[in-house]
Amino acid sequence: MKLTEKQKRDLAVDGAIVVKGLFSPEGLKRMREAFDYGVAHPSPLHGMAFEGTPQETFNDYGNYENRAVHLETIKELGLAEFAASAWGSEHVWFIGEELFIKKGGLGGRSPWHQDTSYFPIAGEQMLNIWTSFEEIPRKNALEFVRGSHRTIQYNGSSYNDASNHTKPLWHKTDWPQLPDIEAERADNPEAWDVFTFDLEVGDALVFHSGILHGGAPVTPDCPVRHTLVYRFYGDKALYRPLPVEGGSDYGYDISDINDPSLTPGEPYRSPYMDQLI
């Protein structure tokens, strides 16, 4: 499947679209096999909140031990070609995967954030393909701030303060702190141009990695969500180093996440990310 011209325009301008039926039943089965393998073989960085309770939540990302499984899945389903069609890019690279499980009907919203605050990459050709294995109504789906991938780069969320989801990840940077979007929406529902979609099984959210996104809670009437995300970049993705010098609230060493061999603004190429086409 390739994106239509309208889908390309909407993705470029709004920053996120839904692609109905991107995954056939056979394709979704293959995605689920990759997902289940990742859950069964987690990385040391995986998180498990409320383990052993009905509200158990699992998250893992970028597990290099499992990379071959995901690369084979991407190849079988033609996802690199799909990503290339979004941009007209000659080449596509795979950044990595992310896995989520929320269950018990009580999982809270994911904090608002931009994925670009966690990667040394910027530019117009960055793409997330986000699919769940359950039907997800609009109120339980991931939400987006329209056009925010084309505006401000905010600091990341530290993810370590449940009372303050905007607590900065990076200690010294000119990136502004994340706004408290939920508080502002509570005061004024029109404060932010937020949009989302109803998702049927086989649908995928396709969005720029730099768009502000968050939400996707589980609730008693939508109690379980299993989600697999694949991230890609193209020829026009640029190196933009992360502000590591001032320290961060990462829970592990990321001192080598930047690449001193690259000049800020030049096309991003990394030996740790696989060129697919």
253 within domain boundaries: no
Query: Do the strands 204-207 and 194-195 form a parallel or antiparallel pair, or are they unpaired?
Result: unpaired
Q: What's the pTM?
A: 0.95
35 within domain boundaries: yes
Minimal CA–CA distance to 214: which of 252, 179, 176?
Answer: 179
- The CATH code of the domain that includes 58 is 2.60.120.620
Q: Count of domains in the chain?
A: 1
36 within domain boundaries: yes
86 within domain boundaries: yes
Bridge partners, 145 (sequence order): 194
Q: Which pLDDT band holds residue 44 (cuts at 50, 70, 90)?
A: confident
User: CA 132, CA 13: separation in Å to the nearest integer?
Assistant: 24
3-state helix, strand, coil in the chain (%, to 5): 25, 25, 50
CB atoms within 10 A of CB 134: 15
Q: Residue 40 belongs to what domain range? A: 5-242
User: CA 203, CA 132: separation in Å to the nearest integer?
Assistant: 8
Determine the pLDDT at residue 138. 96
Q: How far is CA 42 from the centre of its chain?
A: 18
With H, G, I as helix, E, B as strand and everything else as coil, classify residue 148: helix
Examine the pLDDT at 213 and tell me if it is beyond 80. yes
Q: Are 205 and 199 contacting, i.e. CB atoms less than 8 angstroms apart?
A: yes
Determine the pLDDT at residue 56. 62
- 106-149 pLDDT tens trace: 667 888 999 999 999 999 999 999 999 999 999 999 999 999 99
147 within domain boundaries: yes
- 153-190 pLDDT tens trace: 999 998 777 778 899 999 999 999 999 999 999 999 99
